[in-house]
Amino acid sequence: MLITKKNFFLLVMFISLLTIISAIYIEYILQVPACKLCIYQRVPYLIAIAVCFFGYYSNFKNICLHILGLTFFFSIILSSYHVGIENNIFSEFSGCVTQNMNITDKKELLEIIKAQRPSCKNVNFTILGFSLATINLIISIAITLGTIKYIYNEKIKSKKS
């Protein structure tokens, strides 16, 4: 049975919402600080939520499917880079590296330390032994492949008609 486009958009929207809510829960409720790349990796999910909403209600479903595929393709690139940093395959980009501070005032030093994000290299939270960047990579690959398969099936279906 082939899933309808509307149901596909609902599924991806649900997965995206669940992913964003989980990330926020881990960061703010469990108080596990997110690095800058973790924050950046939320952007494709936010875009996906908007695209899925638009795709569900509009007549531009095919365009939305392609945008969704591209969005999660870029998510794969971003999360692969993050996993590579965690596994010492790539070096951290300058936004991830903790700054050297030459501050003598204690209050100012504490404020700067509180405001800083952890290094992208450190894995602060795992689920079943997988870092959140690895889980994001798996989800992004699954959604990208699912979107590609859906687009491919639609093209085959239209050729038969």
Written as six digits, the tokens of 160 are 């038969």
Single out the residue of 149, 135, 153, 147 nearest to residue 12, CA to CA.
147
pLDDT at 135: 96
pLDDT at 100: 54
Cβ atoms 16, 43 nearer than 8 A: no
Digitized pLDDT (tens) for each residue of the chain, 161 residues in all: 468 888 999 999 999 999 999 999 999 999 999 988 999 999 999 999 999 999 999 888 889 999 999 999 999 999 999 999 999 898 887 666 555 556 666 666 556 555 567 788 888 888 999 999 999 999 999 999 999 998 998 888 888 86
Instruction: For the chain, give the number of residues.
Output: 161
- For the beta carbon of residue 30, count every other beta carbon within 10 angstroms: 9
pLDDT at 115: 59
DSSP code for 98: P
pLDDT at 2: 65
Longest CA pairwise span in the chain (Å): 74
The architecture CATH gives domain 5-93+100-160: Up-down Bundle (1.20)
Written as six digits, the tokens of 16 are 């995206």
